[in-house]
Amino acid sequence: MTEYNKNLDYYENRAAEMTGKLLEKLDTQEVRTMANLCELTSFKIGGPADLLIEPASLEAVAAALELLKKDAFPFMVIGNGSNLLFSDNGYRGAILRIADNLTNVEIEDTQVTAEAGILLSKLANQLLDKELAGFEFASGIPGTLGGAVYMNAGAYDGEMKDVVAWAEVLMPDGKVERLTNAELGFSYRHSRIMEAGGIVLRVGLELNRGMYKDIKAKTDDLTEKRTSKQPLEKASAGSTFKRPAGYFAGKLIEDAGLRGLSYGKAQVSPKHCGFIVNNGGATAEQVLHLINVVRKTVRDTYGVELEPEVRIIPEFPEVPEIPV
């Protein structure tokens, strides 16, 4: 038996055991086996995950996390899957998904409290109806609020750090901490939550009063800019690379002569070179090949190292030790 098959058997056996334990705590609709990751990511790429957990409440999130950690079962947390590239063979572990299952929003004057699973676009529409300004930049970002806070997502000169007052984060020890904006340690595409290994549960936003027509006009203007300049008609994970200091990744890639470069069904977008898109049926292997070609070419041509913004998820995650 190959080492690969040994690993596969190990994960399959453990997944069966974990499924039984989860179903003792969660409802049947909250736990699925062998869920196709290509259906849960904006890249539309990825094989099956051993387990998919979609908790229906914040309490269920904590219960699932406690079980996973107690048995040292490999897992990762995702939102809308808008910046992820999973292996073609899938993910040997559990995916804990906080998305359209946790979307409650409460608004009091200019203060907003929202659960982490709500899509930024849906939240932006609710804030527009309440004539709250300051969130327009996030209206077209294809992710959840929790994921956006986790990575300090931003666009068009706005970032989550500009509007987040606090976030409730489930820490690895099982405790929920309310962290202020300063304590969240925001920087470019980064927050303290990444190092802490926490999970965003709820977020408090502080916005400004505005007029409906002005907020709508700004949102529409940003939407027009996105649709005219970005390949939104294609499956992708958004910007493939982080912005290198002093440069724009898309321009470096274009100037290096890589516009439209294809490998299989993966392609450097002719519309915006900062995006690698799935032209239908692209594999993770093809996307990774293009990422490596782009990085090497830009490095050799300009001496600039491009760092991927898309998170590349291995099939076999590191297996944690069972707590003593």
Write a three-state SS string for 137-189. HHCCCCCEHHHHHHHCCEECCEEHHHCEEEEEEECCCCCEEEEECCCCCCECC
159 is catalytic: no
Please identify which residue in the block is written with the tokens 């327009």.
136
239 is catalytic: yes
Among candidate residues 116, 117, 163, 174, the one with its CA nearest the CA of residue 138: 163
Q: Which of 131, 177, 309, 311 is catalytic?
A: 309
H or E segment to which residue 35 belongs: strand 31-36
Q: Tell me whether residue 91 is exposed, middle or buried, using C-beta atoms within 10 angstroms of its C-beta: 0 to 12, 13 to 18, 19 or more.
A: buried
What is d(CA 144, CA 141) in angstroms, rounded to the nearest whole number? 9
Please identify which residue in the block is written with the tokens 């849960």.
40
H or E segment to which residue 236 belongs: strand 235-236
* Residue type, position 87, single letter: S
139 is catalytic: no
Q: Which of 92, 97, 189, 295 is catalytic?
A: 189
The two tokens of residue 277 are 């898109």
Q: Which of 239, 269, 295, 315 is catalytic?
A: 239
The two tokens of residue 281 are 């049926």
Please identify which residue in the block is written with the tokens 């290994």.
197
* Catalytically active residues, by annotation: 189, 239, 309
